[in-house]
Every structure is written in C-alpha cells, then in structure tokens.
C-alpha cells in the first residue's frame, strides 16, 4: 500500500515541518535525496519520504532494512542555528516515542542517545547528518526510520533485536496518521527545546539505562562505567571505576549487567 499524501496533510498541524513533502516510491537513501534538496536551497521543514530504500543506512555505517510499503523512512531537512543543532538528536527520538504513544498507547523507551525501543527491541532509529561552514550550519538532515507494519521475521538478520508496531500490537497501524503525528510532535518539541522547556527532561525520563553499568563505544574508544545521568546538551555522564566522571557526546551503549 502506498502512502496517501492527502491523509498526511489532513492531520498536519505544523507551521513548516512537513509542509513540503518530496515523495518517492523507491530511492537509495532519503538522506541523499534530502542532501540534494538542501544543496539546491530547499526550505527548512522539507521532508523526503520513501516507500522503500535500496541503500538505507544507519549509524556507524550500518544498513537500515527498508522494505517497500510497510514502514516509515523519512529525512527532515532542518536549518538550525549552531546552538540548536544538538537538540535535533533529542527532539527526533522523543517525537517518535510520543507519536507512537499517542497513536497506540504503547510506551516506548529510549536508548541513549537516540534509539526508540519497545520491550528492549529497536522500533526506530535516527541518523542526524549535518553540513557546517565554520560556525554556521548549512543544513541538518534528520533521518528517521520506524518499523510500522513490517513482519520482522522477514528480516532474520534483525529479527532478534528489532521490533515493529505490528509485532507489538498484532495489527496494522495507519502510516499516514503516524507520520503526521510525528511531524507535529517534532516541530512542537523543536520549538520548545529552544525555550528550554522541559524537553531534555522528557527525553531523560525515557532513557532506560540511567543508573546501570554500561559499556560505551564511540569513535575508536570504549569506556565502561555507571551511566549516571545526561546533561542539558544530551551528553552521557559516565562514572568510571576510579570514580572519574567523563562526558560522552555520542556512541553506542550496551548494558554490562
């Protein structure tokens, strides 16, 4: 089934996010299409949506399983000032979690920094790529993949660690309403984050691993310690065995206990 663009528009309550949608039945990666759009001067809020990606990508050079007609694959083109760039990585997963909760009643958790989980399995992943010149942001590409109506068993390589709304609910979810709700939430949270209104707190309250012993892999480094807290920029505060505290900007967390 193809997305009904009119149904998306009907549910949209935003000023600018999703007001211009570039819709593709199939593409390599929506990130690449959005980059071309950005370079050509497309306005902030432009949203590239594809039914299928043939080269969908995740963080750390991984691929993102992107079968046709089942899930959501989108990239939001944003043009934030530098001081708001970090907020995108907080706003995006929170927007997904709130939209899923609003539409299904499920209560997704977040895995630092920006995976969305249900019952410890990954429902959605976020990839933020940005292009800077000096201290100004030319554009940021917020890539969001959500497993919606996918029968996860069809992808044995992720079946053990991923989930979909269909798997959790035992029924299908209207992708149009979910997408519109996600865009609505995203814009509202993005604006709230600029006023410092509680957005980091909402994000923090869903992080399942705070207070747990974790291993964090970032760049070429691996650190272990207690995931004590996050700061207002979204950095992880890790307390090491010798009681030293370090701040980690991004990376991948695995539980040690």
Q: Which residues of the shown chain bind ligand BTN in the complex (CB under 6 A)?
A: 29-31, 53, 56-59, 62, 64, 73-75, 115, 125-127, 143-145
> Which lies closer to ligand BTN via its Cβ, residue 59 or residue 79?
59
* Shortest distance, position 65 Cβ to ligand BTN, whole Å: 9
CB proximity list for 204: less than 8 A, separation 6 or greater: 210, 229, 230
CA distance 126 to 72: 12
CB of 53 to ligand BTN, least distance (A): 6
For ligand BTN, give the closer residue by CB, 57 or 226: 57
Helix boundaries (H) for 50-174 = 82-85, 88-104, 165-169
Q: Which residues pair with 72 in a beta bridge?
A: 146
Q: Read off φ and ψ for residue 115, nearest 5 degrees.
A: -90, 145
The least CB distance from residue 159 to ligand BTN, in Å, is 16
Contacts (Cβ under 8 Å, ≥6 apart) of 87: 80, 190, 193, 194, 199, 234
Q: Which one-letter DSSP state was computed for residue 226?
A: E
For residues 145 and 48, give the distance between their C-alpha atoms in angstroms, rounded to a whole number: 12
Q: What are phi and psi of 197, to 5 degrees?
A: -90, 75
Helix (H, G, I), strand (E, B) or coil at 187: helix
> What span, in angstroms and rounded, lies between the C-alpha atoms of 75 and 83?
21
Q: With respect to ligand BTN, which residue has the nearer C-beta, 50 or 238?
A: 50
Find the residue with minimal CB distance to ligand BTN. 125
Instruction: Tell me how far, at minimum, the Cβ of 35 lies from ligand BTN, in Å.
Output: 11
The least CB distance from residue 245 to ligand BTN, in Å, is: 27
| Pairing outcome for strands 47-50 and 21-24 | parallel
Smallest separation, CB 108 to ligand BTN (Å): 14
Our CB check for ligand BTN shows the closer of 51 and 168 to be: 51
Hunting for tokens 């480094």 — which residue is that?
221
CB nearer to ligand BTN: pick between 126 and 188: 126
36 or 246, CB closer to ligand BTN?
36
- Residue 104 CA, chain-centre distance (Å), reads 18
Q: Select 1 or 161, whichever has its Cβ closest to ligand BTN.
A: 161
* Cα dihedral: 217, 221, 227, 229 (round 10): -100
């Amino acid at each position: 089934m193809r997305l009904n663009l009119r149904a998306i528009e009907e549910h949209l309550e935003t000023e600018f996010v999703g007001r211009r949608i570039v819709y593709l039945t199939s593409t390599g990666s929506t990130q690449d299409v959005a980059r071309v759009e950005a370079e050509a001067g497309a306005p902030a809020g432009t949203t590239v949506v594809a039914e299928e990606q043939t080269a969908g990508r995740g963080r750390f050079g991984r691929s993102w399983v992107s079968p046709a007609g089942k899930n959501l694959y989108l990239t939001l083109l944003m043009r934030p000032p530098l001081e708001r760039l970090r907020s995108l990585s907080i706003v995006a997963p929170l927007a997904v979690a709130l939209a899923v909760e609003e539409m299904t009643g499920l209560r997704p958790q977040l895995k630092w920094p920006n995976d969305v989980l249900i019952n410890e399995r990954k429902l959605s992943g976020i990839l933020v790529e940005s292009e800077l010149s000096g201290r100004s942001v030319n554009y940021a590409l917020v890539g969001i993949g959500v497993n919606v109506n996918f029968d996860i068993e069809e992808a044995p390589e992720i079946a053990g660690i991923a989930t979909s709304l269909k798997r959790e609910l035992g029924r299908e979810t209207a992708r149009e309403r979910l997408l519109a709700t996600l865009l609505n939430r995203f814009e509202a949270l993005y604006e709230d984050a600029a006023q410092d209104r509680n957005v980091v707190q909402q994000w923090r309250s869903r992080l399942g691993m705070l207070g747990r012993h974790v291993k964090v892999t970032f760049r070429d480094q691996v650190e272990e310690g207690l995931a004590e807290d996050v700061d207002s920029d979204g950095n992880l505060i890790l307390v090491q065995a010798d009681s030293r505290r370090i701040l980690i900007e991004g990376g991948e967390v695995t539980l040690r206990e």
